[in-house]
């Protein structure tokens, strides 16, 4: 039996394995040293109480004859889709409930969405990038055109940085790994470009809840015209600590190709997806209540303080960095090859971060630190950074 030949085109995903190997080797050689990780992209705060309470309540229901639920709707329960419609209304965006599809997280749909397109389409992807976009398109046999995200464009590539035409355009704002976020005006340029070229924007808003700047929209649908050229993929993972529970959503407007994109995605989901657990959808619904959002925002504020602590240390060291304000990621200029800086930080300050080279060629010379660590460890890491000066 042959494996799809596109799999042989995937580059080995060695980034986090290589980090783990180097850290393990260091710890073995230096057993007494405390290593602090500012490399993780996972949340660390415990699950918010409203979600925990909803999980317990829903689990109880499942154990009763009246409350038991088997297979749910593939596109998600109406109660959660309605709660998301309300969430978007709070952002000034009107959606219909059948434009919202509940998923088991953003990562799945970012790749799965390609199922509805022919193989071999062209995807425009920023570099550096969250690796799942690249690998999902390679697996689908698509052609990838990279657009450079560099200090010159503030790590926010624009249509003027693009050569040729694409069928799908991946935009991630706030961005992983660079932490940069598009302004309303910049997104309006992208929407205009997509409408003119007939491309579909796949907009990854997984970090929208971290946005603080008023001119950075939380959803692409704040931009007029976006309903005609964009889908939005989002997640409860970073917003409400659901990385382990698994729940997200995808918005597919009716306007896209006179509803045929929405209909195709519904068909795809009905064939290949059987929905997110009822109890998890109840927890997600609870995360969208005023109490849930307040609790989630408290955790986000905790991470924001970490980001400020790291940012302040870099400021006083005179190191240029991006992100940290609208995002949990800090993308710092490291002034040397990024794996060299990784070793320097590990050996001299016992801090682990992520070498930018792992996110694409334009990541070389940059280093990603995250705000998802514990507050105490982050303060200690910042003090150690300062001593490195
Ligand atoms: N999109 C971006 C940009 C991410 O950084 C991540 C996770 O780190 C995801 C999507 C995946 O999120 P989820 O946990 O919802 O699959």
Encode pLDDT of 169-209 as tens digits. Answer: 999 999 999 999 999 999 999 999 999 999 999 999 999 99
Helix (H, G, I), strand (E, B) or coil at 143: strand
Burial environment of residue 65 by CB neighbours within 10 A (0 to 12, 13 to 18, 19 or more) = exposed
* Ligand 1 mutation pick, 176, 249, 359, max ligand atoms within 8 A of CB: 176
- Whether this model's pTM surpasses 0.75: yes
**Residue nearest to ligand 1 atom 12, measured at CA:** 106
279 Cα–ligand 1 center, Å: 21
- Among 235, 244, 246, 287, which residue has the most ligand 1 atoms within 8 Å of its CB, making it the best to mutate? 235
- The CA radius of gyration of the chain, in Å to the nearest whole number, is 21
Q: Which atom of ligand 1 is nearest to the CA of 234?
A: 15
For residue 107, how many C-alpha atoms fall within 13 Å in the half-sphere facing its CB?
11
**Alpha carbons 374 and 232: distance in angstroms, whole number:** 30
User: pLDDT for 84-114, tens place per residue?
Assistant: 999 999 999 999 999 999 999 999 999 999 9
Cα(244) to ligand 1 centroid in Å equals: 12
Q: What is the torsional sign of CA 183, 184, 185, 188?
A: positive
24-59, pLDDT tens digit by residue?
A: 999 999 999 999 999 988 999 999 999 999 999 999
**Candidates 125, 136, 172, 206: which one to mutate for ligand 1, based on the most atoms within 8 Å of Cβ?**
206
Q: Which two tokens stand for residue 341?
A: 């800086």
DSSP result, 192-208: HHHHHHT-EEEEE-TTG
Tell me whether residue 39 is exposed, middle or buried, using C-beta atoms within 10 angstroms of its C-beta: 0 to 12, 13 to 18, 19 or more. Answer: buried
For ligand 1, which residues put their CB under 6 angstroms from it? 41, 105-107, 130, 172, 176, 204, 206, 235, 237, 243, 248
Does residue 299 come out as left (phi exceeding 0), alpha (psi in the -120 to 50 range) or beta?
alpha
What is the Å distance from ligand 1's center to 159 Cα?
A: 24
Name the maximum alpha-carbon separation found in the chain. 65
Q: In angstroms, what is the span from residue 206 Cα to ligand 1's centroid?
A: 6
What is the residue-averaged pLDDT of the chain?
A: 96
Pocket test for ligand 1, best of 41, 178, 238 (most atoms within 8 A of CB): 238
Quote the CA–CA distance of 148 and 126 in Å, as a whole number. Answer: 6
Measured in Å, residue 48 CA sits from the centre of ligand 1 at 19
Give the pairing type, strands 248-251 and 100-103: antiparallel
Question: What is the band of 389 on the pLDDT scale with cuts at 50, 70, 90?
Answer: low
Q: Are 258 and 227 in contact (CB under 8 A)?
A: no
Determine if the peptide bond prior to 128 is cis (ω within 30°). yes
- Burial state string for 84-116 with b = 16 or more CB within 10 A and e = fewer than 16: bbebbeeeebebeebbbbbbbbbbbbbebbbeb
Q: Between vectors from CA 203 to CA 197 and to CA 208, what angle results, nearest 5°?
A: 145
Instruction: Indicate the SS3 state at residue 320.
Output: coil
Q: What is the tens place of the pLDDT at every residue in 283-322? A: 999 999 999 999 999 999 999 999 999 999 999 999 999 9
Residue 233: strand pairing partners: 204, 250
Ligand 1 midpoint to CA 272 (Å): 20
């Amino acid at each position: 039996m042959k494996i799809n030949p596109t799999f042989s085109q995937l580059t080995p995903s060695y980034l986090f394995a290589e980090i783990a190997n180097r850290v393990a080797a260091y710890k073995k050689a230096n057993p007494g040293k405390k290593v602090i990780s500012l490399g993780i992209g996972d949340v660390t705060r415990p699950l918010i109480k409203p979600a925990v309470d909803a999980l317990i309540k829903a689990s109880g229901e499942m154990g009763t004859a009246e409350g038991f639920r088997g297979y749910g709707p593939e596109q998600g329960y109406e109660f959660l889709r309605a709660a998301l419609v309300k969430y978007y209304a709070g952002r000034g965006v009107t959606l219909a409930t059948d434009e919202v599809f509940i998923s088991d997280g953003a990562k799945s749909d970012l790749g799965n969405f390609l199922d509805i397109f022919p193989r071999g389409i062209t995807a425009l992807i920023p570099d550096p990038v969250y690796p799942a976009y690249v690998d999902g398109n390679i697996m689908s046999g698509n052609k990838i055109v990279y657009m450079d995200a560099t200090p010159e464009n503030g790590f926010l590539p624009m249509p003027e940085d693009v050569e040729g035409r694409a069928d799908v355009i991946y935009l991630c704002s706030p961005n992983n790994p660079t932490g940069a976020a598009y302004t309303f005006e910049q997104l309006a340029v992208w929407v205009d470009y997509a409408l003119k070229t007939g491309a579909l924007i796949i907009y990854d808003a997984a970090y929208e809840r971290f946005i603080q700047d008023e001119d950075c929209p939380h959803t692409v649908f704040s931009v007029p015209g976006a309903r005609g050229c964009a889908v939005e993929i989002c997640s409860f993972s970073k917003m409400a600590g659901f990385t382990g529970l698994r729940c997200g959503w995808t918005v597919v407007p009716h306007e896209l190709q006179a509803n045929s994109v929405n209909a195709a995605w519904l068909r795809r989901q009905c064939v290949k997806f059987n929905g997110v657990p009822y109890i998890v959808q109840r927890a997600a619904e609870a995360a969208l209540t005023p109490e849930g959002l307040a609790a989630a925002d408290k955790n986000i504020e905790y991470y924001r303080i970490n980001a400020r602590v790291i940012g302040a240390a870099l400021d006083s060291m005179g190191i240029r960095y991006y992100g940290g304000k609208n995002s949990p990621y800090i993308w710092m200029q490291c002034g040397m090859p990024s794996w060299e800086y990784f070793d320097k930080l590990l050996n001299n300050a016992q801090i682990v971060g992520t070498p930018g080279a792992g996110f694409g060629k334009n990541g070389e010379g940059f280093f990603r630190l995250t705000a998802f660590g514990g507050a105490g460890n982050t303060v200690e890491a910042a003090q150690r950074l300062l001593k490195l000066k």
